[in-house]
Chain A
Amino acid sequence: GAVVSQHPSRVICKSGTSVKIECRSLDFQATTMFWYRQFPKQSLMLMATSNEGSKATYEQGVEKDKFLINHASLTLSTLTVTSAHPEDSSFYICSARWGSSYEQYFGPGTRLTVT
């Protein structure tokens, strides 16, 4: 089946620094990638949708200058949390799909802790 990886799986950074999370589709070309955020014991919240080669579309309330998304190739999307603060600590999950397929394939997630 389709596999999506994320790197790193866990990251700890200091307040004010930036951190980059990678999402890769390993065996298919992802025309669309999604980034979610999950708080403890809560649902996944969609942050943004990115299509390869174009700017990401952010959901209402998500700061695009803080959460930079780049989808430069059909197999890689990156999420950069800029000037991170403790309230950005969360579990970030990406998913990917190709073409008009409805199914999204999810990565295992990245645990970000900002100290």
Chain B
Amino acid sequence: GDSVTQMEGPVTLSEEAFLTINCTYTATGYPSLFWYVQYPGEGLQLLLKATKADDKGSNKGFEATYRKETTSFHLEKGSVQVSDSAVYFCAPMEYGNKLVFGAGTILRVKS
């Protein structure tokens, strides 16, 4: 089955710093790719997605590009805020609409 390797955290940044969270995956075929975010005390929420190679998903200032050649889907944001502090999960969707989650990366943003 598919698998995901995600950047280990926690990642601690100052406000307005640039963020990158790396994600690489192994899969048969070309799965749709997702980033989910879990804010403290809340359920996972879809942050962004990309469904085919070279697609760029974006939302709330976050971006990730589907790189087929490197099987990667790195999450980036140009200027993080304290409110971005959360756990971020990379997840390809394999056959049968099953999400395969990475280990999650804790992001802490300090003011």
CA–CA, A24 and B42, complex, Å: 15
What is the minimal beta-carbon distance from A35 to any residue of chain B, in angstroms?
12
In the complex, are the beta carbons of A103 and B46 less than 8 A apart? yes
Q: Measuring CB to CB, which residues of chain B are less than 8 angstroms from any residue of chain A? A: 4, 32, 36, 41-46, 49, 89, 93, 96-104
Residues of B within 8 A of A95 (CB): 44
In the complex, are the beta carbons of B96 and A49 less than 8 A apart? yes
B43, B98, B100 — most chain A CB neighbours (10 Å): B43
- Binary B-proximity of A68-111 (CB < 8 A = 1, otherwise 0): 00000000000000000000000001010100001111111100
- With contacts A32-B97, A102-B32, A102-B93 known, is A42 near B103, CB below 8 A? yes
- With contacts A49-B96, A102-B93 known, is A93 near B43, CB below 8 A? yes
Residues of A within 8 A of B42 (CB): 108
In the complex, are the beta carbons of A43 and B97 less than 8 A apart? no
In the complex, are the beta carbons of B97 and A46 less than 8 A apart? no
CB of A44 within 8 A of chain B? yes
Known contacts A106-B44, A109-B43, then 6 further A-B pairs from the complex at CB < 8 Å, ordered by chain A residue? A36-B101, A41-B104, A43-B4, A44-B99, A93-B43, A104-B99
- With contacts A49-B96, A97-B97 known, is A43 near B102, CB below 8 A? yes
CB of A4 within 8 A of chain B? yes
What is the minimal beta-carbon distance from A36 to any residue of chain B, in angstroms?
8
Residues of B within 8 A of A42 (CB): 103-104
In the complex, are the beta carbons of B45 and A106 less than 8 A apart? yes
What is the minimal beta-carbon distance from B43 to any residue of chain A, in angstroms?
4
In the complex, are the beta carbons of A43 and B104 less than 8 A apart? yes
CA–CA, A4 and B74, complex, Å: 28
In-complex Cβ contact of B43 among A34, A41, A103, A107 (8 A): A107
- Nearest B residue to A36 by beta-carbon distance? B101
CA–CA, A104 and B103, complex, Å: 18
Pairs across A and B, CB under 8 Å, 28 listed: A4-B43, A32-B97, A34-B98, A41-B104, A42-B103, A43-B101, A43-B103, A43-B104, A44-B44, A44-B89, A44-B101, A45-B101, A46-B98, A46-B99, A49-B98, A93-B43, A95-B44, A97-B97, A102-B32, A102-B49, A102-B93, A103-B46, A104-B99, A105-B43, A106-B43, A108-B42, A108-B43, A109-B43
